[in-house]
Chain A
Amino acid sequence: MEIASCKPLYAVLAALIGSILVSMAGRKPNFREGLSTVAAVIMFLIIASMVPDVLAGKMLKCTVFDILPGLSVTFRVDAFSMIFALAASFLWIIAVFYSMGYMRGLQEHAQTRFNTCFALALFGAIGVAFADNLFTLYLFYEIVSVCTYPLVAHHQDEEGYMGARKYIVYLTTTAKGFILPAMILIYVLTGTLDFATNISTGIFPPGVNSTLVTILYILCIFGFAKNGVMPFHHWLPGAMVAPTPVSALLHAVAVVKVGVFSTTRVMLYVFGVDTMSALNLGIPTAYFVSFTILMASVIALSKDNLKARLAYSTVSQLSYIILGVALLTPTAIEGGLIHITNHAFSKITLFFCAGAVYVAAHKKNISEMGGLGRTMPFTFAAFGIASLSMIGAPPVAGFVTKWKLLVGTMEMESYYVGILLVLLASTLLNAAYFAPVTYKAFFGKRPKGEKYEGIKEAPLSMVIPIMVAAIISVLIGIFPGFMMQFVDRVTPDNVAVAMPQYKPEGAPAFVPSVKAHGAPAETHGAPAENHDGAPAGH
């Protein structure tokens, strides 16, 4: 059911107006950071206020500009956009506090520009989350690219410019070179760019040339290069020259999630599960991104720089999301989508910790962090918890993802052995590159001649956000129900009908529910009960 509402617009405007005000409040740092916080809180509250409507099965819509027939700037809020919007807007609040501690702790220059661009990036990210059509998505996707450029180049040294150039070249080239033609061809073929209202049908009329659709699909997978799928992933490690709060919020949450969100949105709402199954696009995609999952993990193993290791870990984890959706079974789709939130909370914790270590001890390399955990217990404890999530160990968030993905894989009729092996191998790899960091920090020896004199735990404005993010990572692992409600509404029952490889009896974790569009199902009365402890229950 659609209802017209301007709330999505207000949410997006909160960030935009916030950024303008922040840019004008440059001379008063406290006032400026206050404004950022207020903007972040307002945005989160507006988004949170839409939750009841979305849970009631409604879709909020708001057309801002009608440009051409079938081409408009329109916002929509449905369960799918909520998965991303809730996480991103909540983490913005934490990140504002954290970056205040970080930037002031290091006495960074150009903090006003930093805060302005930060807010603009969120403006773009929420715009992507609420996009109702491919054009709006593309518009905000590009806004994110452009507005984060100054953040990546923040240090304005050779390294910063190089990283930022790579960043913008990769992102704009793929967007203009792949997404633009794909978008135009879709417009030529269908006369519209609006997303479908469910994940099964897609928007292509029957009888469209299947080769053309396959080409469009490939263009879309590679075009949203923010999703970090190899071979267009290289901008992500390059962008790690940015200050850590940028890496944290943008390259663990906003930017990369904009990429995977766009990719999965297009996979499910432009192509649709039916088309993808009919043209057999899912399995090849799954195997293709499996390469990224494994390769990025292997590269991460070889990195001694903590942020570089986290960057490659991000590349690897992002592909989990696409893998889940590409498997096209309901549970796998759920697993992929829930990872948008799970990975966001866990990875931001990890980046926050890396930044805290840098501020407190000026250490970037893992080999220099031996024994540091005893000096900075909170930071490294949080790091350990978030690592568990990345590895997929209970009770942290990542476990829910892994569980769902594994179950989803077994729902497939064929070709699932390879995917299972990939998931298991990548779990081992994750453990191999995350466990030593925490282990060395707590139990390892100090490097020779290193006394850690004068090093204390990071300032409170950093430790508190770290702890909050880590605790939430645990909470959404123990109580996945809240976020699951949204994911659940994305994968309605009728997907099963459309999927040839789907076997209902092999799907223990998938709780079938009557979910005809427009009629809220009975099982949704208590969604938390369906899913609380679902991993343990099955």
Chain B
Amino acid sequence: MQDFLIINTLGYPILSLLIFLPLAGVIPLLILKNDEAAKYSTLAVTTLIALISLTLYFKFDKTTALYQFGEHHAWIPMWDINYTLGIDGISLLLILLTTLLMPLCVLCSWNYIKTRVRPFLACLLIMQTSMLGVFMALDFVLFYILWEAMLIPMYLLIAVWGGPRKIYASIKFFLYTLAGSVLLLVAIIALYLHNDPHTFSIPQMMGQDYSSVFQIYVFLAFFLAFAIKVPMFPFHTWLPAAHVEAPTAGSVVLASVLLKMGTYGFLRFCLPITPEASLTMMPYVLWLSVAGIIYGGFTALAQSDMKKLIAYSSVGHMGFVTLGIFVFNVQGIEGALLQMINHGVTTGALFIMVGMIYERTHSRELAMAAGVGKFMPIYVIFLGFFSLSSLAFPGTNSFIGEFLVLVGAFAKTKIVAACAIPGAVLAAAYMLRMLQKVVWGGTNNPDQSYLTDLNVREIITLAPLLLFVLWIGLNPAPFMDVMHTSVNHLIQQVGIADAGPQGIFEVAKLAIPQ
């Protein structure tokens, strides 16, 4: 049972602590009557969680692909349901991303949320619990419960604190995700019954010799659930609606963390549990990814609403992530993992920045934000960096991610990779268009002279994200090091280690001589 798990040796159950601390943070919200105090208490709790989570990084053993900091308690022994937690190089960075973003979400909602402040903060904290749980769970039932639990606070975030069409958007979000979840449940139960002895342990389901047909069915069920979450073209239509209506913090959580659960699902379940089916379906997934990249780019180019623009850009960026995952080589998967983090950092920051404009002008229309640059120079400097990061400017985080994904893709299949290149061009087009409009506008901009530049709180919100943009962009080694072992192990699990080119240096040998 324990052969895949390294039991936590820190002396305190760090993973459980991280999961339950946010829930504990809800308690003061129930007691406190003062909104300001509630904000400070939530900020303190989320910051504490962020600091604790850093321990994970420093104590993480980079040399093993086993699940670390493990906790294992029997829960419902009759059906072999356990409370099993553990993390590896694939989930570590996503957990850190989640914990580091939450204080920023609280900060960016400081003045944005004016009604029902305490319930809002409670929703954020419950979100955090379930998000962290999803990334840590190694038992399918536990995973599924947390996966579903996430829907409710997210639904509330949109439906209660959202914009004018919040009911439409929240229901759409809920129905789409639920549809995927139902199939996920079916797949989980099918896997449970197929294993002998029956088990819900995720690592034990990996590496089993399921029949090809069974794999295909399970893969398809998984795929639909995760593809909706990512969202992959053509399952993306809930995303722009949800983003546009969600409050800033909701958009940030949605874009930075929730979308990653889909791609995390591909890495954690599809590839190791149904490797054969993954290989069979690979071409289709690759082409869907490319379609998403191009489609997201073109649609983003046509938007006049800044939030929609960034939402559609997410479709494109996540297309790069799925492209990287399904080329099944080290560069592709590591690039995809890094790109997940990058997208979380950059798109999160961009949503925060749109929120800042919205707080001031009460509009997300590009035309209304035109020419802001003259009066908000600090804002514009931040926006410039994050926009450049979003279009994968060299020297920023996204460039490294996109570069690795494309290296992986070109090593695998040149045609698919070449078809993704226009997506990179489009990213430059729509991001620079937005930047140009916001900074300069045209010859007749609306009067922006009443705008005030960023205050200290807002600068503190954005500064850490900018730090990561440049840090990952110029020195990605600390982030890449933790994933190497796990990614290599994953590729072995997929069992194609010998079939495809692994390192860039081997690829040269494959080149056809003249």
Contact = CB atoms under 8 A, between A and B. Distances in A.
Interface string B141-174: 0000000000000000000000000000000000
B425 A173 contact: yes
B422 A177 contact: yes
Interface residues of B, number: 39
Contacts of B406: 180-181, 184
Contacts of A210: 514
A190 B417 CA distance: 18
Interface string B474-502: 11110010000000000000000000000
B400 A142 contact: no
Given A142-B394, A191-B508, A207-B513, A65 B428 contact: no
B474 A65 contact: yes
A208 B395 contact: no
A191 B474 contact: no
Contact of B442 (A139, A161, A189, A205): A161
Given A188-B411, A191-B507, A208-B508, 14 more contacts: A65-B474, A67-B400, A67-B474, A68-B403, A71-B403, A139-B394, A139-B395, A142-B394, A158-B442, A177-B425, A190-B508, A191-B504, A209-B511, A209-B512
Interface in B448-476: 474-476
Contacts of B193: none
B211 interface: no
Contacts of B404: 68
12 contacts: A67-B476, A68-B404, A142-B393, A146-B388, A158-B442, A176-B421, A176-B428, A177-B422, A181-B406, A184-B410, A188-B504, A189-B507
Contacts of B513: 207, 209
Interface string A209-249: 11010000000000000000000000000000000000000
A157 interface: yes
Contact of B428 (A153, A165, A173): A173
Interface in B379-431: 388, 393-395, 400, 403-404, 406-407, 410-411, 414, 417-418, 421-422, 424-425, 427-429
A66 interface: yes
A135 B400 contact: no
Given A191-B505, A191-B508, A185 B410 contact: yes
Interface in A67-114: 67-68, 70-71, 73
Contacts of A205: 508
Contacts of B432: 168, 172
B20 interface: no
Given A70-B504, A173-B428, A209 B514 contact: yes
B210 interface: no
B111 interface: no
Contacts, number: 98
B504 A187 contact: yes
Contacts of A177: 421-422, 424-425
The interface residues of chain B, by DSSP majority, are classed as: helix
Contacts of B475: 65-67
A156 interface: yes
Interface string A40-80: 00000000000000000000000001111011010000000
B504 A181 contact: no
A169 interface: yes
Given A161-B442, A181-B421, A188-B411, A68 B400 contact: yes
A203 to B, nearest CB: 11
B2 interface: no
B400 to A, nearest CB: 7
Contacts of A212: 511
Nearest to A180: B424
B443 interface: yes
B214 interface: no
A176 B400 CA distance: 14
A68 B503 CA distance: 13
Contact of B511 (A138, A173, A208): A208
B57 interface: no
Interface in B330-352: none
B508 A187 contact: no
Interface of B: 388, 393-395, 400, 403-404, 406-407, 410-411, 414, 417-418, 421-422, 424-425, 427-429, 432, 436, 440, 442-443, 474-477, 480, 504-505, 507-508, 511-514
A169 B425 CA distance: 10
Interface size class of A (residues with CB under 8 A): 35 or more
A253 to B, nearest CB: 23
Interface in A123-182: 135, 138-139, 142, 146, 149, 153, 156-158, 161, 165, 168-169, 172-173, 176-177, 180-181
B514 A161 contact: no
A134 B513 CA distance: 24
Interface in A183-197: 184-185, 187-191
A333 B109 CA distance: 61
Contacts of B428: 172-173, 176
B246 to A, nearest CB: 31
Q: Which 9 A-B pairs have the closest CB atoms?
A: A139-B394, A207-B513, A65-B474, A172-B428, A176-B425, A177-B425, A191-B504, A191-B505, A184-B406
A517 B411 CA distance: 35
B407 A187 contact: yes
B511 A207 contact: yes
A207 B443 CA distance: 56
Contacts of A68: 400, 403-404, 476, 480
B445 to A, nearest CB: 10
Nearest to B334: A68
B429 to A, nearest CB: 7
Contacts of A176: 421, 424-425, 427-428
Nearest to B388: A146
Contacts of B422: 177
A66 B440 contact: no
A139 B418 CA distance: 21
B265 to A, nearest CB: 27
Nearest to A169: B429
Contact of B394 (A135, A157, A208): A135
Contacts of B400: 67-68
A165 B421 CA distance: 21
A168 B393 CA distance: 14
A70 B394 CA distance: 15
Given A73-B474, A135-B394, A187-B407, A158 B511 contact: no
B342 to A, nearest CB: 14
B443 A156 contact: yes
A135 B396 CA distance: 13
Contacts of B424: 176-177, 180
A73 B473 CA distance: 11
A287 B418 CA distance: 28
Nearest to A178: B421
Contacts of B511: 189, 207-209, 212
Nearest to A279: B514
Contacts of A153: 440
A360 B432 CA distance: 37
Contacts of A135: 394
Most B CB contacts (10 A, CB to CB) among A68, A70, A73, A156 go to A68
A307 B410 CA distance: 43
A68 B480 CA distance: 9
A102 B513 CA distance: 58
B403 A184 contact: yes
B504 A207 contact: no
A161 B508 contact: no
Nearest to B475: A65
A66 B474 CA distance: 8
A212 B511 CA distance: 9
B236 to A, nearest CB: 23
Contacts of A181: 406, 410, 417-418, 421
Nearest to B374: A110
B514 A188 contact: no
Contacts of B429: 169, 172-173
Contact of B507 (A71, A138, A146, A188): A188
